[in-house]
């Protein structure tokens, strides 16, 4: 049985890349040349905000005071979970020292990146959770300076909930800047900020393109596209819950793909009948996004069996992957390409997006085939070192000289040879490769 598409996407999740690239490239160049003044000019143009760009301690305290106690408790709950998971992740990376050959010692060190720039979306949706996810992990990693950057509303500034989340998560500075100008300020070290060594966090296509252009000058978490989600479901799945999970992810944006992969045609048909009603029941803005995403980008695929389902999923390499099927352990062992995996009906992508502790900054557009998402490890450099006794360097020097000469790199060979001559003046060595 070949895979059957009960619903096929009419569009793919691409943007007007060329136009966006040129716009962002120009803005970055102008801000780099014009410094604080040019960034401020763009802030007033795009953010329409006249307030303080770098929030003072008093402004942070005032914003935090506006956050209701119940929301504070929820933010603190999510922060604690993210912190605990990041701390557990950090234990998986350690300094290493090994004697490769007698007298030749090599090692690795895990060194935190000095300055992190965390972008927190605040436009259509105020991404409270993004502040928690990005700042907390940087803090646990041990970054020396963390800047949280979020677009302000023209009348109220940065969302008080975002300010509170960034503050309790450990941000050293909070700046009220959006879009390309915010990314530029962190990268170029404007307004007295240290230059960021890494930029992280989700954002619109302009933020994503700015990170793409700047990658190399600074590190980034990943090059992100529209968020995407896939649900694997068999005949035991609850069609209403499956449909709800698909719609919950489609509301991210008009071009956010959602996919259902199943081996049960009846389940697929039931889900397709339920989805439109669930979309209709959403608030207007959410409804418009979900409607467009479902209409243009969603797919429903019927496979012959669970192995075919797993192969289909791995080919899509979704950002979020949900399994609502029997034998959860089989799926955990079998699946290999996803940003984050949600096993069983009892969990959902929404949990991971907000509060379970795993990070919601994840690879999109198939990037899960080669990378994972944001973690404490992204903020750490794994560097190596070596040292040796003179005797320990002997065999290494001989091999280095021969390999280098075979490669045609005579300077490398002589760097090894000069040490042998100094350390072992009374010995002769064959330092040339065989013909």
Q: Which helix (H) or strand (E) element contains residue 323?
A: strand 320-324
Catalytic residue at 377? no
Tokens of 78: 């999510």
DSSP H or E run through 45: none
pLDDT of the residue at 16: 45
| C-alpha to C-alpha distance for 156 and 333, rounded to whole angstroms | 48
Question: Would you say the CATH fold of 226-372 matches that of 46-221?
Answer: yes
Side-by-side strand order, sheet with 340-343: 4-7, 299-302, 258-262, 229-233, 320-324, 340-343
Distance CA(94)–CA(92), nearest Å, equals: 7
Instruction: Please give the pLDDT value at position 15.
Output: 46
Distance CA 61, CA 185 (A): 23
Phi, psi of 65, rounded to the nearest 5 degrees: -65, -20
Contact 217, 187 (CB under 8 A): yes
Q: Is 127 a catalytic residue?
A: no
Alpha carbon 376 to its chain's center: 11
CA-to-CA separations, 181 to 97, 237, 397, in angstroms, rounded: 43, 46, 51
Residue 384, beta-bridge partner list: 108
pLDDT of residue 18: 67
Domain residue ranges of the chain, discontinuous segments joined by +: 46-221, 226-372, 389-435
Joined tokens for residue 107: 């090692």
Taking the CA atoms of 220, 224, 228 and 231 in sequence, report the sign of the dihedral they define.
negative
Q: Does domain 226-372 have CATH number 2.60.40.10?
A: no
Reading the chain (435 residues) residue by residue, the pLDDT tens digits are 789 999 999 987 554 456 889 999 999 999 999 999 999 999 999 999 888 999 999 999 999 999 999 999 999 999 999 999 999 999 999 999 999 999 999 999 999 999 999 999 987 778 999 999 999 999 999 999 999 999 998 888 999 999 999 999 999 999 999 999 999 999 999 999 999 999 999 998 899 999 999 999 999 999 888 999 999 999 999 999 999 999 999 999 999 999 999 999 999 999 999 999 999 999 998 999 999 999 999 999 999 999 999 999 999 999 999 999 999 999 999 999 999 999 999 999 999 999 999 999 999 999 999 999 999 999 999 999 999 999 999 999 999 999 999 999 999 999 999 999 999 999 999 999 988
What are the phi and psi torsion angles at 263 (to 5°)? Answer: -110, 10
Judge if pTM exceeds 0.85: yes
In the beta sheet, which residues pair with residue 260? 231, 300
> Which is the catalytic residue, given 319, 360, 412, 427?
319
Class of the CATH domain delimited by 46-221:
alpha beta
Confidence (pLDDT) at 335: 98
Tokens of 305: 């069996």
Neighbours of 151 (CB within 10 A): 27
Distances in Å between the alpha carbon of 3 and those of 299, 307, 358? 12, 12, 33
**Catalytic site residue from 79, 127, 167, 320:** 320
Q: Give Cα separations from 165 to 56, 221, 238, 256, 377 (angstroms).
A: 16, 20, 35, 26, 21
**pLDDT score at 19:** 82
Cα–Cα distance for residue pair 181/190, rounded to 1 Å: 10
Q: Provide the CB-side half-sphere exposure for 66 (13 A, CA).
A: 14
């Amino acid at each position: 049985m070949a895979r059957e598409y009960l619903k096929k996407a009419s569009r793919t999740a691409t943007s007007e890349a060329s136009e966006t690239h040129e716009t962002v490239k120009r803005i970055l160049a102008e801000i780099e040349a014009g410094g604080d003044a040019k960034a401020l000019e763009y802030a007033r143009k795009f953010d329409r905000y006249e307030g303080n760009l770098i929030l003072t301690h008093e402004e942070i305290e005032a914003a935090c005071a506006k956050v209701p106690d119940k929301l504070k408790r929820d933010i603190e709950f999510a922060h604690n979970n993210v912190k605990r998971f990041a701390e557990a992740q950090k234990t998986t990376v350690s300094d290493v020292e090994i004697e490769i050959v007698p007298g030749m010692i090599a090692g690795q060190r895990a060194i935190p990146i000095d300055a992190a720039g965390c972008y927190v979306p605040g436009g259509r949706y105020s991404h409270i959770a993004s502040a928690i996810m990005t700042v907390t992990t940087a803090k646990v990693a041990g970054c020396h300076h963390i800047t949280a950057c979020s677009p302000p509303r023209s009348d109220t500034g940065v969302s008080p909930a975002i300010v509170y989340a960034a503050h309790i998560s450990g941000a050293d500075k909070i700046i009220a800047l959006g879009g390309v100008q915010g990314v530029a300020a962190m990268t170029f070290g404007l307004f007295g900020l240290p230059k960021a060594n890494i930029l992280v966090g989700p954002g619109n296509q302009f933020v994503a393109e700015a990170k793409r252009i700047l990658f190399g000058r600074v590190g980034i978490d990943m090059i992100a596209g529209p968020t995407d989600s896939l649900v694997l479901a068999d005949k035991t799945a609850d069609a209403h819950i499956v449909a709800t999970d698909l719609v919950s992810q489609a509301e991210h944006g008009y071009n956010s793909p959602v996919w259902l992969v199943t081996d049960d045609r009846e389940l697929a048909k039931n889900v397709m009948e339920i989805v439109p009603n669930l979309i209709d029941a959403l608030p207007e803005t959410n409804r418009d996004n979900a409607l467009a995403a479902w209409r243009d980008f969603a797919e429903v695929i019927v496979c012959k069996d669970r192995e075919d389902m797993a192969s289909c999923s791995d080919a899509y390499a979704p950002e979020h992957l949900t399994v609502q099927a029997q034998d959860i352990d089989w799926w955990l062992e079998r699946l290999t390409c996803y940003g984050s995996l949600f096993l069983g009906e009892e969990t959902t992508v929404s949990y991971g997006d907000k509060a379970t502790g795993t990070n919601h900054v994840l690879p999109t557009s198939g990037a899960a085939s080669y990378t994972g998402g944001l973690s404490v490890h992204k903020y750490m450099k794994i560097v190596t070192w070596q040292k040796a006794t003179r005797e320990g360097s002997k065999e290494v020097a001989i091999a280095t000289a021969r390999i280098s000469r075979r490669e045609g790199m005579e300077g490398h060979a002589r760097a090894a040879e000069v040490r042998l001559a100094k350390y072992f003046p009374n010995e002769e060595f064959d330092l040339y490769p065989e013909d």
